[in-house]
């Protein structure tokens, strides 16, 4: 069952330089308990997509122009994009947890670690302060923070970056969410701590059965953690597939470029996405052709005339490309 179904999300920024077409019709779904990795080069719209779902786009200059984001729980289905600021605040941090790159931006410097987690708990659940304190101590312990009773009283500045990120993860899981959205949660941490945080996530996901959206540049993390991968390009979905399908038979020239020398599926080592030649599209200019056409060695006439839709290419595998790489000829699509 899908816990989240995003359809045709369009988000723009009205800036002094012009309209930034940041997200241009993104659609995807997230199954209960699955981990979806989102990859793509800088500026491809990964963060803006997630911020749109969480109601965190600054307005102005941002505006969600259209789309749906149906969030389904046993209580029913709701469109996150139609919810009031108040209701969305309730869902955010309660049923949908989030972890960003920089834990400092999420934590309040003047509250102790324990107070911040307990505050989230009392805000979203009907429990007493003492129950919240007890549960906070358990949460700190479950994310691997030693001496949780003592650390309850520490302030964020007294923690290392890795420990702060564990606190943010404790807040994200505190109300047993259905979804956790993690936007490059390990990028600001050193390599050993990155591996520990990924391991922590793997364990929590199994223990809690929570669905995870994980934005990353690290293909080692994608291979080791994700069930499916969504590749973004120019504010659109270029390709979405099960992780082994994507690694074994990428169907979009951009994905092929990103993966570079294909990493082995069981690769656990940290491995960044490959930079590919050419520049990403200028998002100030609305496009009427394939956004990858300038950089694509397979581009043909049709690519300059239409925007390719997401085309089903195999089971649970879609690619926004008019060309069939395996057969070396254009696809037969209307
Ligand atoms: N507040 C804003 N005002 C204007 N433009 C913005 C704003 N926030 C994001 N954008 C633009 O939206 C586009 C998509 O940005 P986004 O942050 O989603 O990229 P990203 O894929 O997350 O990149 P990265 O890998 O660097 O985090 C970019 O062109 C960015 O400059
Ligand atoms: S649609 Fe055309 S230009 Fe775009 S990625 Fe496919 S082959 Fe390349
Ligand atoms: Mg980002």
Task: Give me the helices (H) in the chain, please.
Answer: 46-54, 85-91, 103-106, 113-124, 129-142, 148-151, 161-173, 191-208, 219-225, 243-248, 253-259
In degrees and rounded to multiples of 5, residue 98 shows phi and psi of: -140, 150
CB of 42 sitting under 6 A from ligand 1: yes
Q: Are 64 and 11 in contact (CB under 8 A)?
A: yes
Q: Which long-range contacts (CB under 8 A, 24 or more apart) does 163-168 make?
A: 164/103, 164/104, 164/107, 165/99, 165/103, 165/189, 165/193, 165/197, 166/197, 166/200, 167/103, 167/107, 167/113, 167/116, 167/117, 167/140, 167/143, 168/99, 168/100, 168/103, 168/106, 168/107
Mean pLDDT, to the nearest integer, of 192-197? Answer: 85
Q: What is the pLDDT, as a whole number, of residue 228?
A: 97
Give the ligand whose atoms come closest to the C-alpha of residue 289: 2
Which segment of 109-118, 216-225, 293-302 scores lowest on mean pLDDT? 216-225
Q: Give the relative orientation of helices 129-142 and 113-124 as an angle to the nearest 10 degrees.
A: 120
| CATH class, range 2-95+175-330 | alpha beta
CB of 59 sitting under 6 A from ligand 1: no
What is each CA distance from 266 to 174, 221, 243, 270, 324, in whole angstroms?
Answer: 31, 10, 11, 12, 27
Per the prediction, the chain carries an average pLDDT of 91
Q: Which two tokens stand for residue 207?
A: 């223990």
Q: Which atom of ligand 2 is nearest to the CA of 323?
A: 7
Q: Are 35 and 182 in contact (CB under 8 A)?
A: no
Q: Which atom of ligand 1 is nearest to the CA of 61?
A: 3
Local confidence band at 265 (pLDDT 50, 70, 90 cut-offs): very low
Q: What is the pLDDT, as a whole number, of residue 93?
A: 86
Using the predicted structure, report yes or no on whether residue 264 has a pLDDT greater than 60: no
Using the predicted structure, report yes or no on whether residue 180 has a pLDDT greater than 70: yes
Q: What is the Å distance from ligand 2's center to 298 Cα?
A: 6
Using the predicted structure, report yes or no on whether residue 200 has a pLDDT greater than 90: no
Q: What is the pLDDT, as a whole number, of residue 262?
A: 43
Using the predicted structure, report yes or no on whether residue 278 has a pLDDT greater than 90: no
At 3 the three-state DSSP class reads strand
CB of 20 sitting under 6 A from ligand 1: yes
For the chain, domain boundaries? 2-95+175-330
Mean pLDDT, to the nearest integer, of 189-206? Answer: 86
Local confidence band at 56 (pLDDT 50, 70, 90 cut-offs): very high
CB of 45 sitting under 6 A from ligand 1: yes
Mean pLDDT, to the nearest integer, of 301-321? Answer: 96
Local confidence band at 276 (pLDDT 50, 70, 90 cut-offs): confident
Q: What is the pLDDT, as a whole number, of residue 271?
A: 54
Q: Are 90 and 55 in contact (CB under 8 A)?
A: no
CA–CA dist 308, 55 (Å, integer):
29
Local confidence band at 267 (pLDDT 50, 70, 90 cut-offs): very low
Using the predicted structure, report yes or no on whether residue 261 has a pLDDT greater than 50: no
Provide residues with CB under 6 Å of ligand 2: 252-253, 290, 292-293, 296, 298-299, 303, 308, 321-323
Using the predicted structure, report yes or no on whether residue 220 has a pLDDT greater than 80: no
- CA-nearest residue for atom 11, ligand 1, is 22
Per-residue model confidence as pLDDT tens digits over 68-106 = 999 999 889 999 999 999 999 889 988 999 999 888 888
Q: Which two tokens stand for residue 174?
A: 């505190």
Q: Locate tokens 């950089």: which residue?
A: 295
Q: What is the Å distance from ligand 1's center to 64 Cα?
A: 14
């Amino acid at each position: 069952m899908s816990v989240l179904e995003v359809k045709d999300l369009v988000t723009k920024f009205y800036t002094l330089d012009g309209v930034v077409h940041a997200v241009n019709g993104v659609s995807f779904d997230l199954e209960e308990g699955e981990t979806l990795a989102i990859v793509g080069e800088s500026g491809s719209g990964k963060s803006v997509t997630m911020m749109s779902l969480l109601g965190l786009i600054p307005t102005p200059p941002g505006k969600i122009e259209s789309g749906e984001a149906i969030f389904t729980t046993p209580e029913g289905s709701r469109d996150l994009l139609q919810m009031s600021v108040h209701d969305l605040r309730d869902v955010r941090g309660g049923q949908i947890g989030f972890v960003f790159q920089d834990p400092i931006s999420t934590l309040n410097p003047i509250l102790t670690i324990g107070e911040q987690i307990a505050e989230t708990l009392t805000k979203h659940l009907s429990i007493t302060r003492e129950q919240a304190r007890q549960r906070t101590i358990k949460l700190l312990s479950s994310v691997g923070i030693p001496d949780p009773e003592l650390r309850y009283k520490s302030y964020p500045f007294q923690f290392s970056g890795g420990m702060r990120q564990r606190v943010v993860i404790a807040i994200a899981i505190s109300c047993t969410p259905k979804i956790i959205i993690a936007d490059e949660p390990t990028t600001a941490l050193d390599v050993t701590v990155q591996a520990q945080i990924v391991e922590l996530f793997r364990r929590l996901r199994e223990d809690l059965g929570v669905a995870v959206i994980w934005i990353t540049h690290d293909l080692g993390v994608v291979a080791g953690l994700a069930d499916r991968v969504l590749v973004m390009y120019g504010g659109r979905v270029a390709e979405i597939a099960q992780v082994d399908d994507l690694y074994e038979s990428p169907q979009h020239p951009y994905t092929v470029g990103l993966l570079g020398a294909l990493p082995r599926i069981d690769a656990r080592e940290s491995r960044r996405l490959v930079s590919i030649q050419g520049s990403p599209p200028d998002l100030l200019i609305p496009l009427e052709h394939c956004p990858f056409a300038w950089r694509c060695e397979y581009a043909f006439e049709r690519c300059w005339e239409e925007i390719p839709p997401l085309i089903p290419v195999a089971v649970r595998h879609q690619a926004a490309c008019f060309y069939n790489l395996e057969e070396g000829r254009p696809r037969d699509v209307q």
